[in-house]
A and B are shown apart, each in its own frame.
Chain A
Amino acid sequence: MWEYTEKVLDLFYNPKNQGAIEDRDEAGVAVVFGEVGSIACGDALRLHLKIEVDTDRILDSSFQTFGCTSAIASSSALTELVKGITLDEALNISNRDIAEYLGGLPEEKMHCSVMGQEALEAAIFKYRGIEVEQHEDDDGRLVCSCFGVSENKIRRVVIENNLTTVEQVTSYVKAGGGCSSCGAEIEDIIAAVQQEKEVTATRVAAEIAVAQAQNRPLTTVQKIGLIQSVLQEVRPVLIADGGDVELYDVEGDVVKVVLKGACGSCASSTATLKNAIEVRIKERVSPNMIVEAVE
């Protein structure tokens, strides 16, 4: 039997926001849904959004899910996460956010959280008139024909979740979980992504070294590279306390970060920002840098 968190079980037994949202033709309001999965694959989600047209804000959200315990809980969690935020903010929700909201999922069930993220994108793309067929996930070469998973989709999940094994990829997007004949190809994709990451890191490090040697200001890309390395140092401590931090944007000398989990609601989050993050960024990048949290 799978080990589910209390939150997963609670949302399975008492799901919030289930069902469709009726389109009542209200002025200034649009209703849209996005769907992913299929009954053949064994899980499917239809996510409904009620959107305030002027502000792009999600007023309401609900779900219809065919799937297991974690699929139902992930869908319910997603509807809670998106309520009240704008579509752009919603596009920043990752499958990890859904899993974190649930207090974690068994790794073999992470594909349920990925399904949520995809349904959200499908709904927003549909609302914005972007053809779903042109979405990058569907563009790429098909790697897993059992579950219809493309190379782009595998690359994306590997990058976003820092996956290193075929088994992990299978858990997140099902690829390789059928006849498993694509296992070697998935391994190649993981290796290629890791290599690209290493090359980028090496290049940024080299550029920074040159810039420092020549005593000239860092480019934005160089700044981001250094900021990311500071955040990577801090994250383990925050994660241990049930929180996390993610870089949102860099505008001039202002570093915008998103505080997640326990950090988001923590009274001492300002201290965390200033003492743990800003001080280090000032030291490493530039004494003029300021760190701000965005909602």
Chain B
Amino acid sequence: MSAVIYLDNNATTQVAPEVVEAILPYLTQYYGNPSSMHTFGGQVGKAIKQARSQVASLLGAEESEIIFTSCGTEGNNTAIRAALAAQPDRKHLITTSVEHACVLNLFKQLEKQGYTVTYLSVDRKGQLDLMELEAAMTGNTALVSTMYANNETGTVFPVEQIGAIVKEYGATYHVDAVQVVGKLPLNLKNSTIDLMTLSGHKLHAPKGVGALYVRRGFRFRPLLIGGHQERGRRAGTENVVGIVGLGKAAELAQLHLADIQHEKKLRDKLEKGLLAIADTEINGDRKNRLPNTTNIGFKYIEGEAILLSLDQFGICASSGSACTSGSLEPSHVLRAMGLPYTTLHGSIRFSLSRYTTEAAVDRVLEVMPAIVERLRAMSPFNNDQAEWLQDREEAVLGSR
């Protein structure tokens, strides 16, 4: 197998070499506990302080507004629980049908605990209807939780407009910004966002570290109870290595934002080349979209078969197909967008990073036409008019 061509950066990213260099001393030399009352621990405490400053700077926030967590899931769970604790009398929650499992599954659990949840729909581009949001808001709404950008399609939601509506009703606004931090410029100083989640491994920091932005003055109740770490807002000895890595990664991301157009140009080149293959289409909002993501549906063939074929050439991508997961249902995001089954099952996500080269993009464009042709030659479906395809699709849809 040739060298790996990694185009699955929305799943995780490589740790930046500068980040590796920054964290090494904290694996070897500076291993003190930052809570200890001696200089050895104090040195580590300073490193955490610096990381907090680096993360705050990337978000346009204050240091005191950053809580380090272990991952995006912890950040989202903490934020949602904290929001409920802040307004215990309100029992209505709003989210979208395309959220990450760590939000959707938590809301399902909250429904069992007596909360009412409104799941906002999305259109064919994966975009929200703000009128639907406004119609759902009531004086009983405690929290609105939405993504900033979708992990599968890259569609970016108008978060400040959403936040403005939320504020009218005195509710809390939480944003899962895991896919956005490091890809779009952020400034939370005058934002309508109360709580915002990020995850380190999506921006070239190690896995196992994340952060939660908590707007100053927000009535916060911690999820993890224990020691006084993170000013009592997240107990547990700090993951110093992860935090230092996240800090450095945030600093690098801020520098890279100036050059994000390079990623976008490569993404556009890849997309244009793939769209030249017959019966393909882009899934998502092409106008409001992350610069690094493209999700393309290859009609009449199945995603896992495409992925494994790409894997033979050392190319890593991702699919919304059911066969790539333990679940038997295809991506809930693509289904919520109402994509036809012909496109849905054969959708592939390519997500780039600042390390993606033009040669990598060229290689994908070189091999993909033959992969699609080979699989289509095996498929019993080959056009939308195929009688069998039509009959079966309607039969199954009718039984749902």
Question: Which A residues have a C-beta under 8 Å from some C-beta of B?
Answer: 12-13, 15, 18-19, 35, 37-46, 63-69, 71-72, 108-109, 142, 145-148, 170, 174, 177-178
> For the complex, is B323 an interface residue (Cβ under 8 Å from A)?
yes
B379 A64 Cβ-Cβ under 8 A: yes
> For the complex, is B199 an interface residue (Cβ under 8 Å from A)?
no
- Count class of interface residues, chain B: 20 to 34
> For the complex, is B74 an interface residue (Cβ under 8 Å from A)?
no
B380 A42 Cβ-Cβ under 8 A: no
Stretch at the interface among B39-47, B63-71, B91-99, B302-310: B302-310
A66 B302 Cβ-Cβ under 8 A: yes
Which residues of A sit under 8 angstroms from B301, Cβ to Cβ? 66
Question: Which B residues have a C-beta under 8 Å from some C-beta of A?
Answer: 300-305, 308, 312, 321-323, 326-330, 341-342, 345, 377-381, 388-389, 392-393, 395-397, 399-400
Which residues of B sit under 8 angstroms from A43, Cβ to Cβ? 302, 323
How far does the alpha carbon of A64 sit from the alpha carbon of B386 in the complex, in Å?
14
B392 A72 Cβ-Cβ under 8 A: no
A72 B305 Cβ-Cβ under 8 A: yes
Q: Tell me, rounded to whole Å, the shortest Cβ–Cβ distance linking A175 to chain B.
A: 9
- Assuming the contacts A42-B321, A66-B301, asked whether A147 and B392 have C-beta atoms less than 8 A apart, the reply is no
- The main secondary structure of chain B at its interface with chain A is helix
How far does the alpha carbon of A295 sit from the alpha carbon of B322 in the complex, in Å?
39
Which residues of A sit under 8 angstroms from B308, Cβ to Cβ? 12, 69
How far does the alpha carbon of A108 sit from the alpha carbon of B301 in the complex, in Å?
20
Chain B residue nearest in CB terms to A39: B341
Selected contact of A148 from candidates B341, B342, B389, B399, CB within 8 Å: B399
A41 B396 Cβ-Cβ under 8 A: yes
- Assuming the contacts A12-B305, A67-B302, asked whether A148 and B396 have C-beta atoms less than 8 A apart, the reply is yes
Which residues of B sit under 8 angstroms from A72, Cβ to Cβ? 305, 378
B312 A18 Cβ-Cβ under 8 A: no
A44 B378 Cβ-Cβ under 8 A: no
- Assuming the contacts A38-B393, A40-B397, A72-B305, asked whether A13 and B379 have C-beta atoms less than 8 A apart, the reply is no
Given contacts A38-B389, A66-B345, A68-B302, 18 further A-B contacts (CB under 8 A): A12-B308, A39-B345, A40-B393, A42-B321, A42-B322, A42-B323, A43-B302, A44-B392, A63-B378, A66-B379, A67-B302, A67-B305, A68-B305, A71-B323, A147-B396, A148-B399, A174-B328, A178-B328
Q: Tell me, rounded to whole Å, the shortest Cβ–Cβ distance linking B323 to chain A.
A: 4
A68 B380 Cβ-Cβ under 8 A: no
Chain B residue nearest in CB terms to A177: B328
How far does the alpha carbon of A35 sit from the alpha carbon of B391 in the complex, in Å?
12
How far does the alpha carbon of A280 sit from the alpha carbon of B302 in the complex, in Å?
50
Which residues of A sit under 8 angstroms from B400, Cβ to Cβ? 145-146
Name, among A13, A67, A109, A145, the residue most crowded by chain B CB atoms within 10 Å (CB to CB).
A67
- Per CB-CB distance, the 8 closest pairs between chain A and chain B, nearest first, are A177-B328, A38-B392, A68-B323, A40-B396, A64-B380, A68-B304, A46-B380, A39-B341
B389 A39 Cβ-Cβ under 8 A: yes
How far does the alpha carbon of A178 sit from the alpha carbon of B332 in the complex, in Å?
11
A177 B327 Cβ-Cβ under 8 A: yes
Which residues of B sit under 8 angstroms from A13, Cβ to Cβ? 312
User: Can you list 23 A-B pairs with a CB-CB distance of less than 8 A?
Assistant: A12-B308, A38-B393, A38-B396, A39-B389, A40-B395, A42-B302, A42-B322, A42-B341, A42-B345, A43-B302, A44-B388, A45-B380, A46-B388, A64-B378, A66-B345, A66-B381, A68-B305, A69-B323, A72-B305, A145-B399, A177-B327, A178-B328, A178-B329
Which residues of B sit under 8 angstroms from A170, Cβ to Cβ? 328
